[in-house]
Structure 1
Amino acid sequence: MRPTKLAALVTVAALAGCSSGSPTAVPPTASTPAASPVAGCEFHRFEDAAAVLNAPMNPTPRTDDVEPGAKDTRFLSCVYWTADDTRYANIGHREALTPAGAADNQAQFTNQRPADAVDIPGLGTAAYWDTPNGQILVLVGEDLLLVSTGVKNAPSTSRGKDETAKLATLVVQHLGS
């Protein structure tokens, strides 16, 4: 897979559910029942998305198998949307299933890195903000995460680094649990 396609795949997966019907909206409060874990979203939790987006949320995430048929990796996208379907918290988790998959994740992490990337120390094994794609790439052991938050139909350059970093930090904490 070419490195630029990796980011595009996750973005397409995140936005693929834009036109699907919205589940019942639930405001992000302490009394909100936990909607996680959901298959494919075990470490990307409703509560984290609600805290980061700070808005009423759809409690059911939209998931997608980004690379169906892959044998060395399993790449799942998990997206929580606000109740009005305008903002999202997206996690792409590319899990290494074999040593070749682990090597490919490392290569994707390295090759995807743009010249203006900003390192994010202390997040996973290594992490950086990918400015052109408006996302954070995180290596966590042999796995690769692509994390983004944003507004439906807005350009990737409008995505917020601080909001995305907050989500990435929460998700990395859950990945091993």
Structure 2
Amino acid sequence: MKRSWMHVGGAVLVVVAIAAVVGVAVNSNKHTDNSTVLSQSTTKQTSISKPKQACLIFTIDDAKQVLGEGASGGETGASASSDDLEVSTCSYTQTAGAATSASTSKAASLLVRAPRTAEGVASNQTQFGRLKPAEVQDVTGYGEAAFWSQQYGQLNIFKSNTWYIVSFGPITPSSRTLDQTKQLADILINKM
């Protein structure tokens, strides 16, 4: 029974992550401007590099550091890739055990929106510029720009023209904290 809750929780996490990407991309009514930082990033990378796959960055060994030895999961098949962006997701959950229940279990995920074209770069930059939701909290120390969305329980990082979405904590996104999620971001940031 607990194992099925973990699979359901993992599936919910992936759906929420994809919905968040779509929601942030569509949310153009509430925004702030961060164009100075992002225009500097564009000049650093003049060509499109090979996109990074989420599970090559976020490995099972990384997951065990935050979820414990019982971590399970990996690459998620659902993708919202396009000609301009390659999207990949890697999610892990705690394996059901005596000390883990659906209400106390945790999940960790990384969603990567890697640009394939200049339009993909521009799309990622816009999410951290004029389309960035007004209700988010800016975070320093991660990439060229970063913000925390309490609503989705996600740390959004813009680094080398790629948009990374990191989440870690309780299965319910709004129950996660920035400090929890930073634990995972600190493990992954040098591989991004």
Alignment TM-score, normalising by the size of structure 1:
0.69
User: Distance in 2 between the 1:56 and 1:164 partners?
Assistant: 19
Q: Does 1:73 align with 2:85?
A: yes
User: Distance in 1 between the 2:130 and 2:84 partners?
Assistant: 18
1:44 alignment partner in structure 2: 58
Select 2:127's aligned residue among 104, 108, 112: 108
CA drift of 1:111 comes to: 5.3
CA drift of 1:95 comes to: 0.3
User: Distance in 2 between the 1:13 and 1:57 partners?
Assistant: 20
Per-residue deviation, residues 105-147 of structure 1 (Å, max 9, x unmatched): 1112335633332222111111111122110100011100011
User: Distance in 1 between the 2:80 and 2:130 partners?
Assistant: 18
User: Distance in 1 between the 2:74 and 2:89 partners?
Assistant: 10
Q: How many residues align?
A: 140
Q: Does 1:57 align with 2:55?
A: no
Alignment TM-score, normalising by the size of structure 2:
0.64
Give yes or no for contact 2:62–2:187 (8 Å, CA) kept in 1: yes
AA of the residue aligned to 1:74: E
User: Distance in 2 between the 1:80 and 1:14 partners?
Assistant: 13
AA of the residue aligned to 1:168: A
Give yes or no for contact 2:16–2:152 (8 Å, CA) kept in 1: no
1:92 alignment partner in structure 2: 111
Q: Secondary structure at the match of 2:77?
A: strand
Larger Rg over CA atoms: 2
1:36 alignment partner in structure 2: none
User: Distance in 2 between the 1:13 and 1:64 partners?
Assistant: 15
Identity %: 28
CA drift of 1:148 comes to: 0.8
User: Distance in 1 between the 2:69 and 2:107 partners?
Assistant: 10
Give the superposed CA RMSD: 2.5
Give yes or no for contact 1:139–1:145 (8 Å, CA) kept in 2: yes
Give yes or no for contact 1:40–1:63 (8 Å, CA) kept in 2: no
**Structure 1: unaligned runs, 5 residues or longer:** 1-8, 16-38
CA drift of 1:40 comes to: 4.5
Q: Secondary structure at the match of 1:123?
A: coil
1:10–1:82 distance in 2 versus 1, CA, 3 Å? closer
1:33 alignment partner in structure 2: none
Q: Relative contact order (alpha carbons < 8 A, sep ≥ 6): 1 or 2 greater?
A: 2
Give yes or no for contact 1:93–1:145 (8 Å, CA) kept in 2: yes
User: Distance in 1 between the 2:126 and 2:156 partners?
Assistant: 12
Give yes or no for contact 1:10–1:77 (8 Å, CA) kept in 2: no
User: Distance in 2 between the 1:170 and 1:129 partners?
Assistant: 17
